[in-house]
């Protein structure tokens, strides 16, 4: 950038009309550089930023589409409702619980799997491919399979296996689970952990494979225990990959709609904010309220995203410095 500018401004100094020509050329060059960027930038601003500004405006309005004559400015009323209404407050709580538990569980299991897959063994490629499968099933389809083929209390696979195992011991009264009605949030969490663990595993595996092996080998030569190597070499190296996986996972899982919609339809305290917002505007037609809830999600995501940005930024800087 600087070299280019220097090269262009130099002949300007010698010319009769010194700076003006050079400056306009410089400006033209800058625009020539920007031009390829503009379509994408403008498109995104129009399609994502403008609607959010409108959401922000609607969030301060009293607007139920079923009674359009009562539409008026409402101040912070909607926000007060979002934070005090038991259902919406429950949805905030559910969103946090769901996101945190799914991210942590899939990170821990994903780390375990990544460490296993980092070793050489027969059929490693195939095992990895099998492990990725949960991530590749279309989310709605995955949720349907969990609901009907696995967790169904009468003929789901899980109860089926329980029946089979118990019958091996001659028992006709096996324990049967009904997770969907007894612990519905648990059902959602399990299916999401199943789906997101492969993602964490792949990120962490990429981290493990970029680990400088010479230090590990040196430590091994010095007689360090595997645990010490893991604790003092592997884990610090993986840190930013763990952060990246966790924060990206959080951003995707906060927004989860498919699993909640399909598995429980938001029943029994499983409605997270995306689902609650969908219901508030799609069925209850409470536009103001839905918008306020949407803004609350964005504020929450910004908090998470600030950390995410920092992590991504550190990876990014590393690359830029290369």
Q: Show contacts with another protein in window 123-142 (CB under 8 A).
A: 123-124, 127-142
Torsion over CA: 238, 239, 241, 245 (sign) = positive
Q: Could you say which of 78, 94, 101, 291 contacts another protein (CB under 8 A)?
A: 291
- Rounded least distance, CB 312 to another protein, Å: 5
Q: Could you say which of 91, 111, 187, 281 contacts another protein (CB under 8 A)?
A: 281
Pick the piece of the chain touching another protein (CB under 8 A) from 13-21, 86-94, 100-108, 293-301.
293-301
- Rounded least distance, CB 18 to another protein, Å: 23
Q: Name the one residue in this structure whose structure tokens are 């910004």.
A: 302
What is the spatial distance between Cα 32 and Cα 4, in angstroms, rounded to a whole number? 13
Q: Which two tokens stand for residue 261?
A: 């919609």
Q: Which residues of 188-217 are buried (b: 16+ CB within 10 A; e: fewer)?
A: bbbbbbbbbbbbbbbbbbebbeeeeeeebe
Among 94, 51, 42, residue whose Cα is nearest residue 294: 51
Q: Which is nearer to another protein, 5 or 18 (CB)?
A: 5
Count Cβ atoms below 10 Å from residue 67 Cβ, excluding itself.
Answer: 10
Task: Please give the residues from 63 up to 102 whose contact with another protein meets the rule CB under 8 A.
Answer: none
Among 261, 243, 255, residue whose Cα is nearest residue 308: 243
Evaluate whether 211 touches 237 at the Cβ level (below 8 Å): yes
Q: Which is nearer to another protein, 101 or 291 (CB)?
A: 291
Task: Please give the residues from 24 up to 53 whose contact with another protein meets the rule CB under 8 A.
Answer: 30, 33-37, 39-41, 43-44, 47-52
Q: Which is nearer to another protein, 22 or 276 (CB)?
A: 276
Paired residues of 61 in beta bridges: 73
Residue 228, CA distances (Å) to 165, 220, 236 in order = 40, 10, 12
Pick the piece of the chain touching another protein (CB under 8 A) from 18-26, 74-82, 100-108, 257-265.
257-265
Q: Which two tokens stand for residue 148?
A: 């009907």
262 near another protein, judged by CB under 8 A: yes
163 near another protein, judged by CB under 8 A: yes
Interface map 176-215 toward another protein (x if CB under 8 A): ------------------x--xxx--xx--xx--x--x--
DSSP type of residue 174 = -
Q: Could you say which of 21, 230, 278, 284 contacts another protein (CB under 8 A)?
A: 278
Q: Could you say which of 19, 24, 67, 167 contacts another protein (CB under 8 A)?
A: 167
């Amino acid at each position: 950038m600087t070299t280019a500018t220097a090269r262009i401004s130099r002949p300007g100094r010698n010319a009769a009309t010194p700076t003006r020509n050079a400056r306009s050329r410089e400006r033209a060059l800058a625009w020539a550089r920007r031009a390829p960027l503009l379509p994408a930038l403008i498109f995104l601003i129009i399609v994502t930023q403008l609607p959010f500004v409108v959401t922000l405006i609607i969030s301060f309005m009293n607007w139920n589409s079923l009674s359009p004559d009562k539409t008026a400015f409402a101040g912070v009323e909607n926000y007060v409702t979002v934070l005090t209404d038991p259902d919406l407050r429950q949805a905030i709580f559910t969103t946090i619980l769901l996101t945190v538990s799914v991210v942590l569980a899939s990170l821990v299991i994903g780390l375990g799997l990544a460490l296993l897959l980092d070793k050489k063994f027969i059929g490693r490629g195939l095992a990895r491919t099998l492990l990725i499968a949960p991530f590749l099933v279309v989310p709605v389809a995955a949720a349907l399979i969990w609901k009907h083929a696995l967790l169904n209390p009468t003929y789901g696979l899980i109860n089926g296996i329980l029946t089979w195992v118990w019958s091996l011991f001659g028992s006709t009264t096996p324990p049967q689970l009904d997770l969907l009605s007894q612990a519905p949030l648990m059902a959602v969490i399990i299916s999401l952990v199943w789906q997101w663990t492969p993602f964490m595993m792949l990120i962490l595996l990429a981290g493990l494979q970029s680990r400088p092996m010479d230090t590990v080998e040196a430590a091994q030569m010095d007689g360090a225990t595997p645990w010490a190597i893991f604790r003092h070499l592997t884990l610090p190296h993986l840190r930013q990959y763990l952060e990246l996986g966790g924060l990206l996972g959080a951003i995707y899982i906060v927004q989860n709609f498919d699993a909640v919609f399909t598995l429980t339809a938001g029943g029994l305290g499983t409605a997270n904010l995306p689902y609650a917002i969908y219901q508030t505007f799609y069925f209850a037609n409470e536009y103001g309220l839905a918008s306020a809830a949407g803004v609350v999600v964005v504020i929450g995501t910004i908090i998470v995203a600030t950390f995410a940005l920092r992590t991504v930024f550190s990876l990014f800087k590393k690359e830029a410095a290369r």
